[in-house]
A and B are shown apart, each in its own frame.
Chain A
Amino acid sequence: MSPVTSVSRREFLRIVPAAGAGLVLGVRLSAAMNATGPRGRPSALFAPNAFLQVDARGDVTIWASKSEMGQGVRTSLPMIVAEELDADWSRVRVEQAWADPRFGDLDTGGSSSVRTRYEPMRRAGAAARAMLVTAAAQTWGADRSACRTERGAVVHAPTGRRIRYGDLVEKAAALPVPQDAPLKDPKSFRIVGKSLPRTDTPSKVDGSAVYGIDVKVPGMLYAAVARSPVFGGKAKPFDANSAKTSPGVRAVVPISTGVAVVADSTWNALKGRDALRVDWDEGDGAAESSETLRAQFETLSQQPGKIVRDDGDAAAALEKAAKRLEAVYELPFQAHATMEPQNATASWQKDRCEVWAPVQTPSWALADIARAAGLPPGAVRLNITLLGGGFGRRINPDYAVEAVEISKAVTAPVKTVWSRADDLQHDFYRPASFHRIKGGLDVKGRIASWHHRLVSTSIKAYHEPTASDPEEDEIGGARDLPYAVPNVHVEYAAARSIVPRGWWRSVESSFNAFVVESFLDELAAAAHRDPLALRKELLSGGRTIAYPGQTFVQDTTRLKAVVDLAATRAGWGKPLAKGRARGIAAHFSYRTYCAQVAEVSIGKDGALRVHRVVCAVDCGRAIHPGIIAAQMEGGIVFGLSAALKSGITIEKGRVKQANFDEYEVLRIDEMPEVEVHIVPSDQPPTGVGEPGVPVIAPAVCNAIFAATGKRVRRLPVRVEDLVATS
């Protein structure tokens, strides 16, 4: 349980100086509920951190304590508070919290915002409502139990008298905060569960929404940074005059990530950087390429790795199998390519530093900024702007640190703007992975053995080279294979690479779901089984899969239910237009169950078209069905881009792709018709930002197999993998 505390007016004004008076409540999340952010960086904060304020006008302000990157937290989280508060939704305003430990854990990732905030947000709203009811009852000298609330007012049922919340806040604020204010029966919800208009949509259709890149502060200069094209390279001594003579350039300063060219406009900074002549000491990185990495993967996949699951005896069962299959699956590095390139604005002074940045992980950013500024965190104000996409890229705050270093070097406010090439070539990439997977069927055609050896460029090993568990963010979706197979063996090995790695929307599920769901399809074909019927059979029996150190489980009944729902809505087994075929896949990630059926056709020239995707999702209670559907649609597009179009390749230690002509992503003319079906549920809400992503690649590739008999084992799909006659 998260304690609810009232915050004194004085204390509140210390945190939010511009706020007026009224009833202010904070909810404190327990450390366990707080452990949300990028994995490996748990935070344990005990300050009140879900603020809500009801003022004398009756306006309700809710501080958004998560970064808004398109996933709708500025709508869904306030809805939860407003529901329990019985607020008038038209009077609810949302303000962005900034990185202050007193706001608690603002880190946004792991599809965790609604899941972790649902209960505390409800309790904050319920406590405030109870206090307002008590205040009204005292005003009337009436019995509390005769009072009820209704859209921003307390009503005395017997007499019909009513007082608006705004007129009660002063009295309510003086009352003790109830810790056990009753929560509503979800059956009476009138806000939660509705697809209310998103609070930020109007500002996003008239150009008024302010993203990091839009920030302007008085006296601000603009910077572009030249970075070593080879990862790990360092600038050699350079001639600053080569850039200083470019129009508008004010300074050229070395920083930890390269050489910054500071100018009076973005354009002049970019031009000045083009003019800068700098050579790089490339270091060892230049020896790496996609080919050398592949050779390393190949070698590692032939050797035993670290065993991460071992049920029965997969090797012996394989030996005894009536039919054996072995396959290699490969997936490349991927860039996040948020539409808003990385950027940040910093104003460094001797004793304080203010930063404006689109970050997903304020706690991490704050610590790194303070270090770069040479100031204690308390002297740093980090304002979180809107994010023009996050997808995990903005967990790493490197671009904010750059802005601080530059501002400090020139002692003026500075905005750094990355070009698209900077963004694509200096990302923290989704790991590249390589999978050697074997399966055995017994004489009856049942899957008797599953042996998966997974090799990747570990995220954990990039951030902590000496970590003993480099598999931490690599094995989800492989280790927890949910299908009933008696002998399962999963191994992991980490490959060395100079390429920076990070968390990319759905992290390792983005590759493991592809491998597992594709190989299951291979086994189904080998056993002459319908892929849907086989999945349903292997998910029956109501089993659960546990996760080490976690309290949640994967429930095969719920996974089977989404498989069933997607298949039914897609008309699985019903005849299709000529040339079309269907494929199915399912996956559990971020505590959410998702299944998708893709309908594809392939032209004679190998041109693939994905016509339709039917998506079924069980994410517990649906807070905002419209946002859930949008996240599934968006996740499918993100996954399709990686399945069909994009990939990062390394040549001589550098990224080859520099813009969207080389790093292609899905566009509107390739957009399939997407249908989303949400399983009605009373279970606690779970994540929706990521679970739509991993399922689409295997669903499409399984459909390609159904259409052509060709099995796609490396992504992105290439035309030559599809041509029917080869």
Chain B
Amino acid sequence: MASFTLTVNGKQVTAEADPATPILWFLRDTLGLTGTKFGCGASLCGACTIHLDGQAIRSCVTPISEAAGKTITTIEGLSADRGHPLQKAWIAEDVPQCGYCQSGMIMTAAALIAVKPKPTDDDIDAALGGHICRCGTYQRIRRAVRRAATGGPR
């Protein structure tokens, strides 16, 4: 057991945990932030994606020790009121089906447009190619990212 201080969605928290504990389980089981999902536990599906100091990372394989002194943003902290352009676009395109993969998709897309406000289709595919949506919402995801980037349907 060790103690780590980090910032999660703007709040400072202290984690008392085995340093090897994946951030995913600290968020879900300890902090109750269940918007970040478990899909594979092996960096293969993207469901657990969060931002660590602004970078999209896989929380299922990133130990809590790596978050010490850093800032985490989860889907719950992406905006106060679903006001992030991607969240608005996701609603406008009615992207989710079961919805389970969508937090991860949105977090990766948010990291993408933060550095590349006008991504090409290839950029979108490359960024999200490591994610899985078993319900098959890929076409709408592409549309929503484009909409968020351009501010309107495309």
Residues of A whose CB lies within 8 Å of any CB of B are 69-72, 195, 197-198, 200-211, 213-214, 216, 222, 247, 265-267, 270, 337-341, 386-391, 417, 419-420, 626, 630, 633-638, 659-661, 665-669, 671, 673-674
Q: A389 contacts B25, CB within 8 Å?
A: no
**Contact A205:B91 (CB < 8 A) given known A216-B32, A388-B37, A389-B100:** yes
B94 at the interface (CB under 8 A from A): yes
B21, B91, B137, B141: the one contacting A267 at CB < 8 Å is B21
Residue of A200, A213, A388 with highest tally of chain B CB at under 10 A: A388
A216: nearest chain-B partner, CB-CB:
B32
Could you name 28 residue pairs across A and B whose Cβ atoms are closer than 8 Å? A70-B135, A71-B97, A198-B96, A200-B96, A200-B99, A201-B99, A203-B99, A206-B35, A206-B75, A207-B75, A209-B99, A213-B34, A216-B32, A267-B22, A339-B47, A630-B137, A633-B139, A634-B136, A634-B137, A635-B136, A660-B40, A661-B42, A661-B44, A668-B124, A668-B141, A669-B125, A669-B126, A671-B138
Are A391 and B39 in contact, with the CB atoms below 8 A? no
B134 and A665 contact, CB distance less than 8 A: yes
User: Cβ of B40 and Cβ of A340 under 8 Å apart?
Assistant: no
Given A665-B132, A667-B129, A667-B131, decide whether A417 and B38 contact each other with a Cβ distance below 8 A. Answer: yes
Of B29, B32, B79, B135, which one neighbours A634 at CB under 8 angstroms?
B135
Contact B45 A660 (CB under 8 A): yes
With contact pairs A202-B91, A420-B40, A661-B44 given, residues A339 and B136 touching in the complex (Cβ less than 8 Å)? no
Q: Is B134's CB under 8 angstroms from A630's CB?
A: no
Say yes or no for B74: interface residue by CB 8 A criterion. yes
B129 and A668 within 8 A (CB): yes
Contact with A along B61-76 (1 / 0, CB 8 A): 0000000000000111
Extra contacts besides A205-B106, A270-B41, A660-B45 (15): CB < 8 Å: A70-B96, A200-B99, A201-B95, A205-B91, A206-B78, A206-B82, A207-B34, A213-B37, A216-B34, A339-B133, A339-B134, A634-B135, A659-B42, A669-B126, A671-B139
Q: In the docked arrangement, what's the CA distance between A213 and B87, Å? A: 23
The interface residues of chain A lying within 8 Å CB-to-CB of B36 are 207
What is the bound-complex CA distance between A71 and B135, given in angstroms?
A: 9
The answer to whether A197 and B94 touch across the interface, beta carbons within 8 angstroms, is: yes
Q: Does B118 contact A (CB under 8 A)?
A: no
B101 at the interface (CB under 8 A from A): yes
Q: How would you classify the secondary structure of chain A's contact residues: helix, strand, loop or mixed? A: loop
Task: Please name all residues of chain B whose beta carbon is closer than 8 Å to the beta carbon of A201 when the two chains form the complex.
Answer: 90-91, 94-96, 99
Q: Which 5 pairs between the two chains have the least Cβ-Cβ distance?
A: A207-B35, A637-B136, A388-B100, A204-B99, A70-B97
B33 part of interface (Cβ distance < 8 Å): yes
Residue positions of B touching A, CB distance < 8 A:
18, 21-22, 25, 28-30, 32-42, 44-45, 47, 74-76, 78-79, 82, 86-87, 90-91, 94-103, 106, 124-126, 128-142
Interface pair A419/B41, CB less than 8 Å apart: yes
A417: chain B residues within 8 A (beta carbon): 38
Tell me the bound Cα distance from A633 to B21 in angstroms. Answer: 38
Once the chains bind, are A265 and B96 in contact (CB under 8 Å)? no
Determine if A668 and B99 form an interchain contact, defined as CB atoms under 8 angstroms apart. no
Which residues of B are found within 8 Å of A204, using beta-carbon distances? Answer: 96, 99, 102
Known: A205-B87, A633-B139. A339 touches B96 (CB 8 A): no
User: A527 to nearest B CB, angstroms?
Assistant: 35
Residues of B within 8 A of A209 (CB): 99
User: Roughly how many angstroms separate A109 CA and B28 CA in the complex, as a whole number?
Assistant: 30
**A659 / chain B contacts, CB cutoff of 8 Å:** 40, 42, 44
Contact, CB under 8 Å: B29 / A265: yes
Tell me which residues across on chain A come within 8 A of B126, comparing CB atoms.
669
B29–A267 touching, CB < 8 Å: yes
Q: A665 vs B129: C-alpha distance in the bound complex, in angstroms?
A: 11
Q: Check A339–B101 contact: CB distance below 8 A.
A: yes
Contact among A214, A266, A388, A668 for B138, CB-based, below 8 A: A668
Whether the Cβ atoms of A202 and B82 lie closer than 8 Å is yes
When the two chains form their complex, are residues B47 and A633 in contact, meaning their CB atoms are under 8 A apart? no
